[in-house]
Structure 1
Amino acid sequence: MDRTVLPVGAPRAERADAVRNRLHLLATAREMLSEQGADRLTMDALAERADLGKGTVFRRFGTRAGIFQALLDHDERAFQEQVLGGLPPLGPGATPLDRLIAYGRARVGFLVGHREIARAALDGSQPVPAGAETPLSQMHIRMLLGQMHLGAADLDMLAVQLTAALDGPLLLYLSAAELTEAATRSEERIAQGWQDLVQRVCRS
């Protein structure tokens, strides 16, 4: 679900009124999500709660899934900043294997915390994961694999498979009850599973 890639260079300028509307809509969507849950957050309900025209909401998000994609993208940026420039082992400065383990553990925590938003952001009209860009997880995992000595392994495909192993269980296989009733225990089990997998796959 990590479609957003931190931009290189200055981002395209956004009109002041568009910025205000975007921030207002995101804040309103978060309020509704906290109060009512993801199922009650619709395009019409958001427009009414934000006191904006339906056309404004549709132009901003396109679809209901687009609301959740925008919420996720906003939080993704902060997560990516930690990955790209934070403290080791998640950020630069640790060994590639330690960074890969730390990335998976942090990503699991992020997805567990954003499980409602992440699932609602899946758009059935688009391939999974939604969006056209290469997921940041895949790019980051591929970079770290390239810094290891893994012989003749197909690192591009291995990165795809590890990305699926990291995101797939949370978004596609674990039930909402499993993630809600014992979120802390599930998070640690998934994180430990990721560490076990990576240590075996990346064994020299």
Structure 2
Amino acid sequence: MAERKPRKDAARNREAVLTAADTLFTRCESPADATMADIATAAGVGKGTLFRAFGDHTRLIRALYEARLEPVREAIEQGPPPLGPATPPLQRVPALLDAVLCFKLDNRHLALALEGNGGDSPYKAEHYERWHTLFHDMLEQIPGLTDSAFTAHALLAVVRADLVEHLSGHEGIPREEMRGHLASFAATFLGTRPGGG
């Protein structure tokens, strides 16, 4: 019983930090503009608590990204169509691309910060490898499609955070228009456009 309180405090502190980081990152031009000290102050915790829980700024960004991504992951792993595992790959691939695009649009600064911080290469980052594996496995199930590994990279390239930011933030393309362009691209790429191949 004596151990429950620290666990509750740790969970509460973690939630307070993620909420504070979320708020600060949204207000800043870039998540890098919000320091760990800023986040600790906003969360009402000590810097030591923050560093013990998350390690560093990059890990905090990753934790917030993962928390935001959880509903998408649940839909992919056990949800109904079009994202769920029972959906045929030719319908699931475009639905997943759309989900990734919407996620990046809703979390632009966070995605930009994380994708720009993958060590030597953003393609070695854990979140990228997870997306790539998911797309690769789905593409492997589509008859006649060759080189699923390269194709998965090509599909992920069209929803990179820097491209999404450029199209949405700099060119001002509305969300629904971007989704329409992506759906059209996916249909052409996969040969599912009506009357086309």
**TM-score bracket for the superposition, by shorter chain length:** 0.7 to 0.9
What's the CA shift for 1:49? 1.4
CA distance in 2, matches of 1:174, 1:191: 16
1:186 aligns to what? 178
The answer as to whether partners of 1:119 and 1:171 remain within 8 angstroms in 2 is: no
Q: How does 1:40-119 map to 2 (within 5 A)?
A: 40-119=33-112
What's the CA shift for 1:37? 5.2
Contiguous gaps of at least 5 residues in structure 2: 1-5
Structure 1 stretch displaced more, 52-61 or 124-133:
124-133
1:167 aligns to what? 160
1:21 aligns to what? 13
Give the direction of change, closer, same or farther, for the CA distance of 1:145–1:58 in structure 2 (3 Å limit): same
The answer as to whether partners of 2:168 and 2:174 remain within 8 angstroms in 1 is: no
1:143-197 CA-to-partner distances (Å, cap 9, x unmatched) read: 211212126x222333233333433663685473236x63443343234333332
Q: Aligned residues, how many? A: 187
1:8-46 CA-to-partner distances (Å, cap 9, x unmatched) read: xxxxxx944332221110011122234455454221110
1:145 aligns to what? 139
Equivalent pairs: percent with the same residue?
Answer: 27
1:32 aligns to what? 24
Equivalent residue letter for 1:33: F
The answer as to whether partners of 1:115 and 1:170 remain within 8 angstroms in 2 is: no
Equivalent residue letter for 1:84: E
Equivalent residue letter for 1:196: T
Contiguous gaps of at least 5 residues in structure 1: 1-13
Give the direction of change, closer, same or farther, for the CA distance of 1:20–1:115 in structure 2 (3 Å limit): same
Give the direction of change, closer, same or farther, for the CA distance of 1:36–1:162 in structure 2 (3 Å limit): closer
Equivalent residue letter for 2:73: Q
The answer as to whether partners of 2:105 and 2:164 remain within 8 angstroms in 1 is: no
Look at both structures and tell me which one has the larger radius of gyration over its CA atoms: 2
For the aligned residues, what is the CA RMSD?
3.0
Equivalent residue letter for 2:180: E
